[in-house]
């Protein structure tokens, strides 16, 4: 029998966290290539430190982008400026940008590209997980959902000029109490946020408190002695000045906050032929539709692939004892309602578009689907198809 009464914690980091700066830059590169050619190939890693940004990786796309480092540098600086870095030691205009992107391996390309009777293959081997549960309206685990919302609220206030004492770099952590398997309130909340040197600890604490109380449901606020804001007492030095950043180091923040398994592959900097990204989106899409259809209160889906092979090697479904249908039948139904080849996923979700920079902070899941195709994997448009496939 699974544990029903427990505490569970998840964390989030803001767009100004050094690793998230890197994710944003890498995804800006992806968007730049896809805007020029929807079939472009990108695997871009970014490193940031004091006054320095380094891009490295493999690309295949039109010369107007692939052979134009000045254009890519413009995208790097625009991303940093949008995040809000104009501080000493890391400034969008003054930081040095080094670009080391080269052509994609021909060995990889021949496995991925469609040719003759061969369909488009997976860009790598690997396992990908998707998850959904009915703890929140967006069908996400509550601890990670609230952690994201706190930082989004603070970032919005900062960018609108309502919180000028705050800097771009911040982290949140929310611990919730579960009773009979359902979240009922927060037992502790931790927020560390960069601030100007003139701001007092009390001033920062009270500003943050307003945003936390706005985000949490009424009556869910933790005890005051379990509300931690900048526990070290000072957070003026932040961003890449305070800590080196790398693409892909916040994979649990990006997904389900530790409430579900993770296959290990990061998302940012990768075009949609990379199943690390596209199949993880597909697995979330399917799991969300299972829960939205009332077929389970919780659903975990695993997909697996081999490099160069189009079909998934396995489709695993676990409804954690909350399902209303047989899991083996559900696995077959999922294959029926969606083509889970890399090409099928890319076309079904419309992934060959410049929609990725916006995913780089505050989670890839639990977001609102947008009219331009952004966050298409958050749609719940398979509900009727699933029920039909299951004979319901």
Instruction: Give domain status of residue 171, yes or no.
Output: yes
Mark out the alpha helices in 168-321 (DSSP H runs): 201-215, 251-254, 275-292
- Using the 3D structure, point to which of 240, 267, 298 is the last residue of a domain: 240
Q: Is 205 annotated as a binding residue?
A: no
CB-CB contact of 55 with 44 (8 Å): yes
Instruction: Count Cβ atoms within 10 A of the Cβ of residue 39 and give its class: 0-12 exposed, 13-18 middle, 19 or more buried.
Output: middle
The answer on 155 and 130 residing in a single domain is no
Q: Is 274 annotated as a binding residue?
A: yes
Q: Which residues contact 80 (CB under 8 A, 6 or more apart)?
A: 21, 25, 53, 90, 92, 95
Q: Is 284 annotated as a binding residue?
A: no
**Residue span of the structural domain in which 311 resides:** 126-134+275-389
Q: Is 137 annotated as a binding residue?
A: no
Instruction: Give domain status of residue 41, yes or no.
Output: no
Instruction: Give domain status of residue 304, yes or no.
Output: yes
Instruction: Give domain status of residue 75, yes or no.
Output: no
3-class DSSP state of 159? helix
Q: Is 298 annotated as a binding residue?
A: no
Q: Is 41 annotated as a binding residue?
A: no
Q: What is the pLDDT of residues 212-255, one digit of tens each?
A: 999 999 999 999 999 999 999 899 999 999 899 999 999 999 99
Q: Report pLDDT for 117.
A: 46
The answer on 215 and 317 residing in a single domain is no
**What value does the mean pLDDT take over residues 4-10?**
95
**What value does the mean pLDDT take over residues 176-195?**
97
Q: Is 104 annotated as a binding residue?
A: yes
The answer on 165 and 130 residing in a single domain is no
**What value does the mean pLDDT take over residues 318-339?**
96
The answer on 130 and 165 residing in a single domain is no
The answer on 298 and 234 residing in a single domain is no
Q: Is 213 annotated as a binding residue?
A: no
Instruction: Give domain status of residue 116, yes or no.
Output: no
The answer on 130 and 171 residing in a single domain is no
Q: Tokens for 360, please give them.
A: 């780089």
Q: Is 170 annotated as a binding residue?
A: yes
Cα 367–chain centre separation: 10
Q: Is 171 annotated as a binding residue?
A: yes
The answer on 306 and 373 residing in a single domain is yes
Region class of 257: left (phi > 0), else alpha (psi between -120 and 50), else beta: left
Instruction: Give domain status of residue 193, yes or no.
Output: yes
Q: Is 266 annotated as a binding residue?
A: yes
- Using the 3D structure, point to which of 240, 257, 286 is the last residue of a domain: 240
Q: Is 96 annotated as a binding residue?
A: no
Phi, psi (5° rounding) for residue 77?
A: -65, -35
The answer on 337 and 302 residing in a single domain is yes
Q: What is the pLDDT of residues 45-68, one digit of tens each?
A: 999 999 999 999 999 999 999 999
**What value does the mean pLDDT take over residues 267-293?**
97
The answer on 232 and 281 residing in a single domain is no
Q: Could you tell me the CA-to-CA distances from 75 to 22, 70, 194, 228, 271 in Å, in that order?
A: 12, 9, 25, 36, 17
Angle of the 201-215 helix axis to the 142-159 helix axis, nearest 10? 120
**What value does the mean pLDDT take over residues 59-84?**
95
The answer on 286 and 334 residing in a single domain is yes
The answer on 301 and 234 residing in a single domain is no
- Could you say which DSSP state residue 119 is in? P
Q: Is 87 annotated as a binding residue?
A: no
Instruction: Give domain status of residue 347, yes or no.
Output: yes
Q: Tokens for 160, please give them.
A: 């609108």
Q: What is the pLDDT of residues 33-48, one digit of tens each?
A: 999 999 999 999 999 9
Region class of 234: left (phi > 0), else alpha (psi between -120 and 50), else beta: beta
Q: Report pLDDT for 103.
A: 86
Q: What is the pLDDT of residues 130-145, one digit of tens each?
A: 999 999 999 999 999 9
pLDDT mean across residues, the chain: 94
CB-CB contact of 356 with 27 (8 Å): yes
> Looking at residue 339, which CATH number applies to its domain?
3.30.300.10
pTM exceeds 0.85: yes
3-class DSSP state of 253? helix
- Alpha-carbon gap, residue 318 to 326, rounded angstroms: 10
- Alpha-carbon gap, residue 256 to 366, rounded angstroms: 9
Q: Could you tell me the CA-to-CA distances from 156 to 11, 160, 228 in Å, in that order?
A: 19, 6, 21
Q: Is 341 annotated as a binding residue?
A: no
**What value does the mean pLDDT take over residues 313-330?**
96
The answer on 170 and 130 residing in a single domain is no
Structural domains of the chain, count:
2
């Amino acid at each position: 029998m699974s544990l029903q009464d427990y505490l569970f914690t998840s964390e989030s980091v803001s767009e100004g966290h050094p690793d998230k700066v890197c994710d944003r830059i890498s995804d800006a590169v992806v968007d730049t290539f896809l805007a020029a050619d929807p079939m472009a190939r990108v695997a871009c890693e970014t490193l940031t430190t004091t006054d320095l940004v380094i891009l490295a990786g493999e690309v295949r796309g039109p010369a107007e982008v692939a052979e134009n480092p000045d254009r890519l540098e413009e995208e790097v600086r625009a991303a940093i400026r949008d995040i809000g870095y104009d501080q000493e030691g890391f400034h969008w205009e003054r930081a040095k940008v080094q670009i080391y992107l080269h052509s994609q391996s021909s060995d990889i390309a021949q496995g991925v590209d469609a040719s003759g009777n061969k369909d488009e293959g997976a860009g790598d081997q690997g396992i990908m997980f998707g998850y959904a549960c009915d703890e929140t309206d967006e069908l996400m685990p509550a601890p990670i959902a609230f952690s994201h919302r706190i930082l989004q609220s603070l970032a919005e206030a900062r960018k609108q000029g309502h919180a000028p004492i705050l800097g771009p770099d911040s982290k949140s952590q929310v611990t919730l109490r579960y009773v009979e398997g359902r979240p009922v309130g927060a037992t502790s909340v931790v927020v560390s946020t960069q601030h100007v040197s003139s701001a007092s600890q009390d001033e920062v604490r009270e500003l943050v408190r307003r945003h936390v109380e706005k985000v949490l449901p009424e009556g869910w606020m933790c005890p005051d002695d379990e509300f931690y804001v900048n526990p070290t007492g000072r957070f003026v030095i932040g961003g890449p000045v305070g800590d080196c950043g790398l693409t892909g180091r916040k994979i649990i923040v990006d997904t389900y906050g530790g409430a579900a398994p993770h296959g290990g592959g990061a998302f940012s900097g990768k075009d949609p032929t990379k199943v690390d990204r596209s199949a993880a989106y597909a697995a979330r899409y399917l799991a969300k539709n299972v829960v939205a259809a009332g077929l389970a209160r919780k659903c975990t889906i695993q997909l697996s692939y081999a490099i160069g092979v189009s079909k998934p090697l396995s489709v695993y479904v676990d409804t954690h004892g909350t399902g209303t249908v047989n899991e083996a039948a559900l696995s077959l139904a999922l294959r029926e309602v969606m083509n889970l080849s890399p090409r099928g996923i890319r076309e079904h979700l419309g992934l060959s578009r410049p929609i990725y920079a916006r995913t780089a902070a505050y989670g890839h899941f639990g977001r609102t689907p947008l009219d331009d195709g952004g966050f298409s994997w958050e749609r719940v448009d398979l509900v009727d198809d699933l029920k039909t496939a299951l004979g319901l």
